[in-house]
């Protein structure tokens, strides 16, 4: 149901629910935030009705009761380069159809009137039924951010059977080839990437960008993985780029909606693109080679520190976790300490999840067991259970205290490593 327009607005004003709320309702998906377009009103009308203006670049208001966003119908005209180069025009004479025409995809340009009637001038409902993501018109090329938005929507919608319209993909290629993506600021790229990583199929994001020739401009470190061979006995999919896609989707499966896990999974194998050609398909030391590109990618996109730090340690340590049963208790302790797992215990749980995604993100191995994840968590819990207070109570202090705590934790790890007694 849509919310009725506030009674205090003039009688000629019409209010419509628009965008994602209408789209998701038609798809039968859980409702999210609701956005409204107001046709026929002035800024003064909105303020007089009790709405609070919050938009700076164009008139957006908060409903006095629900707090939901209401925007005056507007048009946009290209006036400069990049996604910020637009002149916005909001006026009571702007029609609903004109407002919908400025949007990106047909499935996002459907409005619902107060009586429930759909207004769908671009066939969005038809495309929803056909499971097609299609641009509205030629103005699509004016905003380079739409290339990322298309890929991000595919990350969400591909599991529902959606495909990208061929003519939309052609426009995206045109934009990528024309260098328009260079106008994107890092923060916006990260926002779209993070949303994709929180979606059901981040791999669809990568595939869509790559098909458009845009992945090399947005994520060159990831694009470089495609075509790099791996040993078939460990990676039946062979191609490192395909492995990366499988790992991203497995991470989304193991940790739904978690872009922290998703980003670490995305970066874990970046070092494989730097393996010398003469040693392929082996990838000796790729875990260490991957640290530099992981940091470079994180800095370029201004990724949050927590994401960068987890990605670096997962890149560096994932092979050690795969062979966890071969490590001595002291080595396991030092690995945990190196990851700051005693001060930040959640890191070890995250590391276990990313490594499981890596192990199961391989052709034919999605259902494979990965006991190392449970073992790592058990050894970590055993080490965390050692209390420094008990050691201090014995009168141990200074450097001796640190040594005693380490030895006690190693002993706890050794005990937890022993096979369980029947």
Which residue ranges in the chain fall short of pLDDT 70?
1-7, 57, 77-87, 420-422
Q: How far apart are CA 139 and CA 101, in angstroms?
A: 9
Report the distance separating Cα 327 and Cα 335, nearest Å.
Answer: 10
What is the SS3 assignment for the chain? CCCCCCCCCCCCCEEEEECHHHHHHHHCCCCCCCEEEEECCCHHHHHHCCCEECCCCCCEEECCCCCCEEEECEEEEECCCCCCCEEEEECCCCCHHHHHHCCCEHHHCCEECCCCCEECCCCHHHHHHHCEECECCHHHHHCCHHHHHHHHHHHHHHHHCCEECHHHHHHHHHHHHCCHHHHCCHHHHHHHHHHHHCCCCHHHHHHHHHHCCCHHHHCHHHHCCCCCECCCCCCCCCEHHHHHHHHHHHHHHHCCCCHHHHHHHHHCCHHHHHCCHHHCCCCCCHHHHCHHHHHHHHHHCCCCHHHHHHHHHHHHHHHHHHCHHHCCHHHHHHHHHHCCCCCCCHHHHHHHHHHHHHHHCCCCCCCCCCHHHHHHHHHHHHHHCCCHHHHHCCCCCCHHHHHHHHHHHHHHHHHHHCCCCC
Nearby residues of 162 by Cβ (< 8 Å), 6 or more positions away? 131, 132, 133, 153, 154
Q: Which pLDDT belongs to residue 51?
A: 93
Q: What's 1's domain CATH number?
A: 3.30.460.10
* pLDDT (tens digit per residue) in 229-279: 999 999 999 999 999 999 999 999 999 999 999 999 999 999 999 999 999
Quick check: is 52 in a domain? yes
N- to C-terminal Cα separation, the chain: 59
Q: Calculate the CA 92 to chain-centre distance.
A: 38
Closest CA to 253 of 139, 332, 146, 370: 370
Q: 139-163 burial, b if ≥16 CB within 10 A, otherwise e? A: bbbbbbbbbbbbbbbbbbbbeeebe
Residue 27 is assigned to a structural domain of this protein: yes
What is the domain count for the chain?
Answer: 1
The position carrying tokens 């009168």 is 395
Q: Which pLDDT belongs to residue 162?
A: 98
* Res 392: pLDDT: 77
Written as six digits, the tokens of 404 are 């005693």
Range of the structural domain that residue 92 is part of: 1-130
Crossing angle, helix 329-338 and helix 399-417, to 10 degrees?
Answer: 120
CA 38 to chain centre: 32
- Residue 419: the pLDDT is 73
Instruction: Give, in order, the Cα–Cα distances in Å from 374 to each of 351, 379, 420.
Output: 11, 9, 14
Question: What is the per-residue pLDDT for 229?
Answer: 97
The model's pTM: 0.91
In a domain, 323, yes or no: no
CA pair distance 136, 106, nearest whole angstrom = 5
In a domain, residue 114? The reply is: yes
Tokens of 18: 């628009």
| Phi, psi dihedral angles at 279 (to 5 degrees) | -110, -5
Q: List, for residues 23-55, the tens digit of each pLDDT value.
A: 999 999 987 889 999 999 999 999 999 999 997
**In the prediction, which pLDDT does 383 show?**
97
Residue 260 lies in a domain: no
Is 185 within a domain? Answer: no
CA dihedral 188, 191, 192, 197 (to 10 degrees): 150
Residue 105 lies in a domain: yes
In a domain, 21, yes or no: yes
* Spatial contact of 412 and 382, defined as CB atoms under 8 Å apart: yes
Q: What is the pLDDT of residue 33?
A: 86
Token reading at 99: 């407002």
Query: CA–CA separation, 58 vs 71, rounded Å?
Result: 8
Percent with pLDDT over 90 in the chain: 83
């Amino acid at each position: 149901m849509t919310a009725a327009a506030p009674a205090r607005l003039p009688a000629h004003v019409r209010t419509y629910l628009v965008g994602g709320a209408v789209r998701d309702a038609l798809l039968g998906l859980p409702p999210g935030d609701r956005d409204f377009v107001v046709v026929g009103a002035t800024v003064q009308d909105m303020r007089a009705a009790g709405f609070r203006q919050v938009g700076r670049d164009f008139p957006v208001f908060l409903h006095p009761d629900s707090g939901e966003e209401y925007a005056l119908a507007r048009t946009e005209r290209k006036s400069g380069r990049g996604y910020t180069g637009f002149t916005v025009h909001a006026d009571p004479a702007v029609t609903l159809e004109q407002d919908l025409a400025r949007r990106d995809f047909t499935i996002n340009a459907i409005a619902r009137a107060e009586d429930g009637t759909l207004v769908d001038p671009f066939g969005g409902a038809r495309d929803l039924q056909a499971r097609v993501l299609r641009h509205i018109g030629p103005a699509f090329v004016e905003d380079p951010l739409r290339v990322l938005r298309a890929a991000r929507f595919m990350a969400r919608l591909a599991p529902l059977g959606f495909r990208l319209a061929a003519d939309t993909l052609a426009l995206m290629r045109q934009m990528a080839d024309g260098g328009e993506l260079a106008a994107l600021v890092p923060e916006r790229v990260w926002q779209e990437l993070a949303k994709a990583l929180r979606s059901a199929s981040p791999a669809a994001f990568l595939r869509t960008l790559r098909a458009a020739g845009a992945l090399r401009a947005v994520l060159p470190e990831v694009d470089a993985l495609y075509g790099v061979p791996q040993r078939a006995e460990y990676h039946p999919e062979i191609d490192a780029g395909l492995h990366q896609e499988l790992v991203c989707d497995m991470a989304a499966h193991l940790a739904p909606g978690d872009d922290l896990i998703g980003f670490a999974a995305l970066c874990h194998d970046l070092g494989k693109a730097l393996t010398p050609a003469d040693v392929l398909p082996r990838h000796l030391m790729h875990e260490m080679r991957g640290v530099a590109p992981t940091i470079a990618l994180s800095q370029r996109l201004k990724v949050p520190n927590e994401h960068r730090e987890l990605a670096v340690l997962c890149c560096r340590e994932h092979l050690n976790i795969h062979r966890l049963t071969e490590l001595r208790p002291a080595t396991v302790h030092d690995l945990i300490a190196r990851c700051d797992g005693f001060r930040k215990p959640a890191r070890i749980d995250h590391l276990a999840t990313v490594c499981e995604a890596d192990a199961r993100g391989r052709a034919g191995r999605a259902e494979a067991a990965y006991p190392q994840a449970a073992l790592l968590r058990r050894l970590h819990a055993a080490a965390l259970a050692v209390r420094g207070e008990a050691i201090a109570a014995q009168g141990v202090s200074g450097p001796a205290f640190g040594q005693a705590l380490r030895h006690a934790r190693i002993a706890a790890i050794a005990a937890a490593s022993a096979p369980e007694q029947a």
